[in-house]
Every structure is written in structure tokens, then in C-alpha cells.
Structure 1
Amino acid sequence: MLDIVIEARKAALAPGMDVRRILPFRQRRMVGPFIFMDHAGPVTMEPALTQNMDVLPHPHIGLSTVSYLFGGQVTHRDSLGVEQIIRPGEVNWMTAGSGIAHSERFEDPAALAGGNLEMIQTWVALPEKDEEAAPAFENYKPEQLPIYTDTGIWMRLIAGDAYGLRNDVKTHSPLFYLHVVLTKGAKFTLPREHPERGIYVAKGSIEVAGRTYTVGQMLVFNKTAEPVILAKEDTTLMLLGGEPLGERFIWWNFVSSRKERIQQAKADWKEGRILLPPTDNAEFVPLPTDKSKPAGGPAPQALS
């Protein structure tokens, strides 16, 4: 039935920018191929301080980052020369593969007005055969993402397949990722076609098997579970999961099936072999000092 309930931990990225960090979790490092999940916002900040929130150019390998906004906007720039303003309801899928660097900047003060900025970011680990793929970035507009509605239920398929929905977002392994909005009293069940499935409560609360779960909690279910999810109030959920990929190592912003590849990525960033974004190359995040135990590492760079 219910494998585990993950409680989000608070992480401070910058002055005024706190996030709820859901994955990785010590007792459950991945759900399907998803190895990282942050929930940022709603953010309220004085316009003069917005520059403090910028995430400077930094590197990734072995994963895809998926940025999805509820409100506000973020400007993405990467070493491929892509410059993309990320807006609510879009899917921004960056595949790091063999190595990419990017930044995320909050350049429109109006996008932060009234606590409007709110986003979910996940990292999807790549299958071993794709870990060294060429880097890529794709932006998908809301009209490219199918929507399903029923009484009290609205859902948008961000990527993969579930509930008979599919879209053209390019993925590298079987998975599903959905934005779900429920009105009070609505009921639904999880998709059955994937062995690992998680529900993250972004807003509101739900009841499962007589227990109530609230904002910041993720419920992870095994492949045989068929839970009934009841919205206790108007609620927003993120559903995700898929086929597990096997063990992955994570250190800072690097993910790989091989420890030695993580060490190579450290050296590549330190020596400048991962290029900076051509239109955002005046500053960058230096390689953290590695004070970790063998299985640990610095906290991942969120919003990246």
C-alpha cells in the first residue's frame, strides 16, 4: 500500500528564497527515475532584493531538469546558447547528458509582486545508455500539454503517460508527471501503469485510507496499491513516478550510475571544461569543497 511518507525539509537558497526539499530523502532517494524535487515559493520579496535570488551559472551531468511554474517567471540561459523565459504552465526540459551549465535569473520584479513566484523543479535521472547524451533544452507551451477534466478534477500531463494521456515531451525512460487540481470532495485514484508512484501535496490537503496529509508531504505507493485520494479542501497535487533505473550517485548537481564519473565532473567544472552560457558568463558557482562522507555530498543546487 503506502511505502513511505516523505516530509519536505526547509532549505535556504538565498535571502528571501526558501524551498521545500522533498527528494532525495534518506530513506527514499528516488521515485521511479525522479531523483530530486524542490518546491519554491510563494516568494515575497522587495524588488531591490530580487537579484539576490539569482541562481548563477552552474553545471549538471547525467540528468534532465524539469522546471514547472505555478506563477511568476524565470529566465533560463545555458551553455548551448539557449535563452528562455519560463512562464506558468510550460514544461522546460533540459537534458544535461555529458555536461551543461545554466543559470536562472529573476529579472522581472513584477513577477514577484504579491508572492506570485512559485515553482516546482525536479531532476530525472537518465538511463545508463543516455547518461553521456548530447545536452539539449526544450520548451513546451501549455497548449502542447493535454488536459483531462472530470467532476472536481483538472489535470495537466507534464510528461510521460498516465490515465490514457500522452504528449510529445521527450523523455528517456517510462515515467509520468502531472499537475492536478482538485475541488473539495473530489476523489480519484493513481495511474496503474507505473510501478513506482508518488503524490506531493503542493496546496491544500488530502485523505487516504482515513488519514489526512497536508502541504509539504509526499506519499509514495508500491505497484499494487490502489488508493482512493479524497480532497479535504481545494487542493493542488504533483503526481510523479515511473520505472526505477537502479542505483544512482548524486553529488551537488551531478548524477551518475558511476562514482568515477562524478569525480570527472568535479574536475571538468573546476578546470573550465564545462562551458558557461555565452550570454551569462561573467560569474558562476564554484565547485563546493568536498567535505562529504563517501555516500554524501553538498546539497544539490536547487532551481537548476
Structure 2
Amino acid sequence: MIEMIIDQRRRSLGGAFEVGRVLPFAKRRMVGPFIFFDHIGPMDIAAGVDRSADVRPHPHIGLSTVTYLFSGEIMHRDSLGFEAPIRPQEVNWMTAGSGITHSERLEKARAVGDRLHGIQAWVALPTEYEETAPAFTHYEGEDLPFWDAGGVRGHLIAGSAYGLTSKAKTHSPLFYAHLEMTAGATAEIPGGHAERAVYVATGTVELGDQTLHAGQMAVVAPDAGALRALEASTVMVLGGEPLGERYLYWNFVSSRPERLRQAAEDWKAGRIKLPDADDQEFTPLPDEVRITPAVDR
């Protein structure tokens, strides 16, 4: 029922941002089109936190970033001119395509303090959309359907699952949902996709005869059915269709290594536009970055 269990690895993104990195993993780079999966926090941020804690403007190509919070607030600004806070149960869906830059600022925390907790996923784009025009959309309310039954309160972030369909625009078949489960509740893992996974953000769940704890992702087999919460738990379920081989280089994703090298050179040379409302600083290209394959299975 479970093909692999992946434990998060703690990573600092600089400043106050610390994440539990789940994907990519050495033995499992992707789940469907999901190529990055970071668990943000939970972390308490004191009022007055320095701006060095923010994520400064940085570039992306070849992917969509999907930011979803359980608590807290992050201010997004990008090179298309969009400025939008992301709050709990909302979604900032940014498609990088041919290239975009954005910043993620802790402005609420700086003013009044905050408890930041959430997930940022990267969804690789199909080959025919890798160079699509960049775009940003903020989704909330009825765009992202809720349901509440049998001790499970669910929130559909993207795709179709549980008889519902999200309005979030995707470029390939996938599903992505947030489940709040009471102790003893059960929830089906949506089917109909080649690759699927379950991530436990808080609590403990049981899948078949195996137990999953907070900070663990289970890549599930085709026969995987329902999971059961052993205590109150926050769970993300996700999956989709494989896209083929992808390569990673810093914040860039592409099916072509040479495209990653070009993006890196463009960033170093200042040829990628910064956000107009946030162009006084930027994140430099790290000194040592390797192009690594992210092979879909």
C-alpha cells in the first residue's frame, strides 16, 4: 500500500524562513508533476523582525509555485506587478513559465508578530508550457471548494477530487487537497492518477498496517485506499500524471539543461526583471549550484 516513506529534512532559506524539505528526495524526485514540496514552519515570529528574515526577490522558470498557509501571512510581490497577501485557506498560484521574479515578505509579522505555518509546492510544467507567459492568480472562497463529513473537513486546492473541482488553473492533470481529520476519522486517497502521495503536517495517521507521523510523506501504491487519523491530524493529499525527465538548478526547472544555464546567466547579468514595488535588493545566484536530474517514475 505504501511504496516509500520520505522524512522531511530541515533546511534554512535564510533569515527566519526554515522549511522541512520533502521533495525532491534522492530516491524519489517527483510525485506526478510535484517537483518541490516544502513544509514552512511552524514558527513563531516576533513583532519587529528584521527585513533580513524575508525572502528577497528571486527568479523562477518552468514551474508553478503553489503557496498554501495553515496560519500566518506572507506578502507576495512579483515582476508582473501583482501584490497580494497570502492568508490561511487561500492560494497564491504563480506560473513562472518563461520567467518571473517574486519576493515573500513577513510584513504582518514585522508589524504585530505571527505564527507562520504552511506548505509551498512547485508544480513542473509540461514541455509544451515550459515557456508559457508568466502569470499570477490569487484564489480564495468559493474558488476552492470545502466539504465537511465524517470527521473530515476538506479543502480542495487544485484539480478534481472527492466529487469537487477547484477553479485553480493547472497545466496538467493533478489533484491537491488539505484534510483536517479528527481522531478516528477516515479519508479516501483520490484515485485516477498514476502517482499519489500523502503528507502528514501535524498528527498521526494510519495507512494499511503502517503509521505515518508529522513530517512524513508516503508515496502510495495503486492499491492504496483510505487513511485513518489516530489523533487530530492535518494531512495533504496530492498526485498527478508523470511529465517525463526534468532538471533542477537553484530555483529553475526545465526539461533542457541548457535552458537552466541560460536562466542562471540571465539572472547574473541582470536581464530578468525585478518586481517594480520591490527592486531595491535581490537574491544572488549561489556560488555552487549543480544541475540535478529530477526523473519522474
TM-score (norm 2): 0.95
Partner-residue secondary structure (3-state), 1:284: coil
Question: Mean alpha-carbon deviation: is it higher for 38-47 or for 264-273?
Answer: 38-47
Distance in 2 of aligned mates of 1:107 and 1:91: 18
Q: Distance in 1 between matches of 2:112 and 2:121?
A: 21
Report if aligned partners of 1:4, 1:221 keep a CA contact under 8 Å in 2: yes
Cα deviation for residue 56 of structure 1 reads: 0.3
Please report how far the alpha carbon of residue 48 of structure 1 lies from its aligned counterpart in structure 2 after TM superposition. 2.8
Percent pairwise identity: 53
Q: Is the 8 A contact 1:91 1:140 kept in 2?
A: yes
How many residues end up aligned between the 2 structures?
Answer: 294
Secondary structure, aligned partner of 2:292: coil
| 1:187 counterpart = 2:175 | no
Instruction: Label 1:42 to 1:195 Cα distance change in 2 as closer, same or farther (>3 A).
Output: same
Q: In 2, are the aligned partners of 1:156 and 1:179 still within 8 Å (CA)?
A: yes
Q: Provide the rounded CA distance (Å) in 1 between the counterparts of 2:161 and 2:54.
A: 34
CA contact (8 A) 1:160 1:169 kept: yes
Question: Which deviations, in whole Å up to 9, do the C-alpha atoms of 1:146-200 show, x marking residues without a partner?
Answer: 1122111111110011122102110000000001011000112211111111100
User: Which residue of structure 2 aligns with residue 260 of structure 1?
Assistant: 258
Contact 2:247 2:256 (8 Å CA) reproduced: yes
For residues 69 and 214 of structure 1, the distance between their equivalents in structure 2, rounded to whole angstroms, comes to 20
Question: What is the match of residue 267 of structure 2?
Answer: 269
Offset at residue 142 of structure 1 (A) = 2.5
Matched, 1:45 2:45: yes
Shift of 1:62: 0.1
Q: Specify the alignment match of 2:280 in structure 1.
A: 282
Match of 2:231 among 227, 230, 233: 233
Asked whether the equivalents of residues 73 and 111 of structure 1 are also in contact (C-alpha less than 8 Å), the reply is no
| Closer, same or farther: CA 187–291 of 1 in aligned 2, 3 Å | closer
Aligned to 1:17: 17
Where 1:10 maps in the other structure, the secondary structure is strand
Task: Summarize the Cα distance change of 1:112–1:182 in structure 2 as closer, same or farther, 3 Å threshold.
Answer: farther
Change (3 A) 1:220 1:168: same
Instruction: Render the CA deviation track for 1:191-236: whole Å, top value 9, x for unaligned.
Output: 11111111000010001222211100000013x2233311000000
DSSP-derived class of the 1:44 partner: strand
1:15, CA displacement in angstroms? 4.1
The code of the aligned residue for 1:37 comes to: F
Partner of 2:237, secondary structure, is: strand
In 2, distance between residues paired with 1:118 and 1:61? Answer: 25
**1:1-304 mapped onto 2 (5 Å cutoff):** 1-109=1-109, 113=113, 116-222=115-221, 224-290=222-288, 292=290, 295=292
Which ranges of structure 1 fall in alignment gaps of 5 or more residues?
298-304
Amino acid of the residue matched to residue 231 of structure 2? E
Task: From the superposition, tell whether residues 50 and 215 of structure 1 become closer, same or farther in structure 2 (CA, over 3 Å).
Answer: farther
Query: Over aligned residue pairs, what C-alpha RMSD do you find?
Result: 1.7
Q: Once structures 1 and 2 are overlaid, which stretch shifts more, 207-216 or 231-240? A: 207-216
| Deviation at residue 124 of structure 1 after TM alignment | 0.2
- Deviation string, structure 1 residues 119-152 (Cα, Å, up to 9, x no partner): 2100000000000000000001133211122111
Cα separation, 2, equivalents of 1:165 and 1:174? 14
Contact 1:50 1:107 in 2 (8 A): no
Q: Give TM-score scaled by structure 1 length.
A: 0.93
Q: Bigger CA drift: 12-21 or 79-88?
A: 12-21
Q: Which runs of 5+ in 2 are unaligned?
A: none
Q: Is the 8 A contact 2:202 2:214 kept in 1?
A: yes
